[in-house]
Structure 1
């Protein structure tokens, strides 16, 4: 039986699963360079290069497998996919904890990328058990769970790392295993059998799923805006530590404190502000507010020369966390129940593609503009952040165009249950969805172009 949308225990179970997944991932970050150095025998610089390849492998696997896992969850249900992914993470951390070669490290990280792609399934699970009008708020809770896991994970990993570089991996394996047992005994299935569909390999790859979603142009346009926004956001984790060292001579402790402040602000904005803002000003306005905050933060950070304005833009930029859940909720409204996994798989693939391209672009810009001597016209370490701010403004312009073209500010369309259909153009009549008794479903889901 599908889970009731009012089940707080089910919601808590999924959020705890996501939190523990991210906590386990964050635990290994502080000691990964040390473990790579031990196994490769190279310098810190060489370990950083290998670490970059590991990030590339991880993001590539998420890009390739996100849509597949999402589509598999549409066919077989959310629960088995989530449990299989948790088993994969347990195996991954165990392999990396006992690894005696870089080959095993890469194998473990590849498994982690595949298993981590299950976030699309977890998000689809939330969509299954949540009324459409509350999805923005609950998608924000997912982001908050990610943020909190990433905040506490590195702290715990750093403390465990004092015992040796492999101890955090052992702890992560234990957490993933406990999470697997927790999900097995607590997590019920959320997708009813009559809402499932056949698995289609053509829709289970990152390019095929986008082709499938092209039947719904509003989703495709929103996906493009989200992709540019996420691509711009990659400049922060990619060059933040290098930028603060270059411009402000930050120590590792100062970098950690700054990232902790951002993480707390970002998690708070997703957990507390998304639901409040979408209720008061609507989803599309919330998206624009988040994008505007990001653009101001990026462009302001690009030109800072002291610590106080850095923290101002850092805290201000955490408000950008409201944009992702709100635009996700907008897209979720446009697809039927049996395609939520496919949609979330496409979103996960888009985010992963941005995670592949973004760090490469940001680090190249940073490297190019810091090679010149300080004080010369060619010296500008903030170039990646300026570029990110401009890209966010382009993403906002594309989003405004999509909102106006499909009239989303008045009535977000809701796709039919049997397939993802092409949205009616503004001014064209669209039949309201009906429930099982033949009644219309109420406010916000009527005719187009009204």
Structure 2
């Protein structure tokens, strides 16, 4: 099969599969939000404090494995192709869900979470696949659609987990395993390979596969490292949402879980609208760099608004502003994928995955401790302090993007 026909077939069959893959990864994370802490609490004999400590360990471990495994999977995909890595990761993810569904003890549950963190790093390979089959001018739009899959996952994941977990805390994991296995079957029988043999890396270099070694790529292309820095600051700031927002909104406005569910639904839907319908037109109108600037500026403003809004009604004004942060990653991916060769797309996505893992490790500590301190400190009682920190990180991302995200392509990419 020729390169052009391979890429054409990839465009026809790939996006649905990649969208489903991204959706499953985000649903798996979303399902954990209402279910995993309660399952951990069961294993600790109902001790809430102990469950909270274990939940932090689970979250940090998951982020660490993303940091470690993302570059390995990305480099494997550059060397042996995207399809086998995606299929292995998906099958492993389905097995991991079953592992957690039937874990007889806390340590077995922890082991399942370790396996989940390793296989969920397949997102880096999925990003490389899309870069293979999408012309450079259309990549930001396609990555926007992919980002909307994550928003869908965070909308429906907690809902599915809460609904199924009402009767049995293990049932959501079984459902997630079944959906992942269906996606694996689709990939096994339908998904074509996107990276022809002649465009693959000639060898697997372990020096590049370790997390620190993978960052060498970010330094090897001019302008790539600052763009990765913008993505890291965004990811780090974004961790404030799952870390403290349930506690913050309940404390600040007295919102019940039912109200919170509606708020998160509105936030997710508004994000999906931006990522699905606005990324393409915005990039076409103002370019990838200005798209990133709009998104980071919106994030800085929205987080500051969330932190300072004195009433719940005023808080709601920030939701449509925050939705424009959905422009950030598509714009960044559009800029970054144009700066590396086809043989480096997997390595690039792996490096990005490592940075995301670092954000998942340090974010909960930064925002959780800051939130707790702000509530306990009598002389400086600012409940939204942690969210102001997130706003500052977004402002830093804006300044870094303004200084570095100039349109500069390393070399023409094949369409």
- How many angstroms apart in 1 are the aligned matches of 2:58 and 2:413? 49
Judge conservation of contact 1:24–1:175 (CA < 8 Å) in 2. no
Paired position in structure 2 for 1:419: none
Paired position in structure 2 for 1:330: 335
Query: What SS is found at the alignment partner of 2:130?
Result: helix
Q: CA RMSD in A?
A: 1.7
Judge conservation of contact 2:9–2:192 (CA < 8 Å) in 1. no
1:190-339 equivalent positions in 2, closer than 5 A? 190-197=194-201, 198-339=203-344
Paired position in structure 2 for 1:102: 106
- How many angstroms apart in 1 are the aligned matches of 2:217 and 2:80? 20
The verdict on how the C-alpha distance between 1:434 and 1:16 changes in structure 2, with shifts beyond 3 A counting, is closer
The verdict on how the C-alpha distance between 1:317 and 1:299 changes in structure 2, with shifts beyond 3 A counting, is same
The verdict on how the C-alpha distance between 1:235 and 1:204 changes in structure 2, with shifts beyond 3 A counting, is same
Q: Which has the higher contact order (CA 8 A, sep 6+)?
A: 2
C-alpha deviations, 1:82-126, integer Å up to 9, x for none?
Answer: 111111111111111111111111110011111010100001001
Judge conservation of contact 1:287–1:323 (CA < 8 Å) in 2. yes
Shift of residue 314, structure 1, vs aligned partner: 2.3
1:6-405 equivalent positions in 2, closer than 5 A? 7-197=11-201, 198-373=203-378, 377-403=379-405
- How many angstroms apart in 2 are the aligned matches of 1:267 and 1:98? 34
The number of residue pairs the alignment matches comes to 410
Judge conservation of contact 2:236–2:360 (CA < 8 Å) in 1. yes
- How many angstroms apart in 2 are the aligned matches of 1:22 and 1:350? 17
Query: What SS is found at the alignment partner of 2:380?
Result: coil
Shift of residue 257, structure 1, vs aligned partner: 1.4
The verdict on how the C-alpha distance between 1:383 and 1:42 changes in structure 2, with shifts beyond 3 A counting, is same
C-alpha deviations, 1:11-49, integer Å up to 9, x for none?
Answer: 112212222333344334322222212222132232122
Judge conservation of contact 1:33–1:44 (CA < 8 Å) in 2. no
1:426-437 equivalent positions in 2, closer than 5 A? 433=412
Judge conservation of contact 2:10–2:192 (CA < 8 Å) in 1. no
- How many angstroms apart in 2 are the aligned matches of 1:106 and 1:290? 36
Shift of residue 383, structure 1, vs aligned partner: 0.6
- TM superposition score normalised by structure 1: 0.88
- How many angstroms apart in 2 are the aligned matches of 1:342 and 1:264? 32
Unaligned 5+ residue runs, structure 2?
Answer: none
Judge conservation of contact 1:5–1:130 (CA < 8 Å) in 2. no
- How many angstroms apart in 1 are the aligned matches of 2:399 and 2:28? 37
- How many angstroms apart in 1 are the aligned matches of 2:320 and 2:116? 31
Judge conservation of contact 2:217–2:348 (CA < 8 Å) in 1. no
Judge conservation of contact 2:69–2:121 (CA < 8 Å) in 1. yes
4+ runs deviating over 6 angstroms: none
C-alpha deviations, 1:267-311, integer Å up to 9, x for none?
Answer: 221111111100111110100000111011011111112111111
The verdict on how the C-alpha distance between 1:213 and 1:348 changes in structure 2, with shifts beyond 3 A counting, is same
Paired position in structure 2 for 1:446: none
C-alpha deviations, 1:145-186, integer Å up to 9, x for none?
Answer: 111122112212211112211111111111121111111111
- How many angstroms apart in 1 are the aligned matches of 2:22 and 2:11? 17
Shift of residue 196, structure 1, vs aligned partner: 0.5
Query: What SS is found at the alignment partner of 2:7?
Result: coil
- TM superposition score normalised by structure 2: 0.95
Query: What SS is found at the alignment partner of 1:145?
Result: helix
The verdict on how the C-alpha distance between 1:180 and 1:6 changes in structure 2, with shifts beyond 3 A counting, is closer
More helix by share: 2
- How many angstroms apart in 2 are the aligned matches of 1:26 and 1:400? 33
- How many angstroms apart in 1 are the aligned matches of 2:236 and 2:160? 29
Moved more, 379-388 or 157-166: 157-166
Moved more, 238-247 or 23-32: 23-32
Unaligned 5+ residue runs, structure 1?
Answer: 416-432, 436-440, 442-450
- How many angstroms apart in 1 are the aligned matches of 2:350 and 2:80? 15
Moved more, 280-289 or 350-359: 350-359
The structure with the larger Rg is 1
Judge conservation of contact 1:140–1:322 (CA < 8 Å) in 2. yes
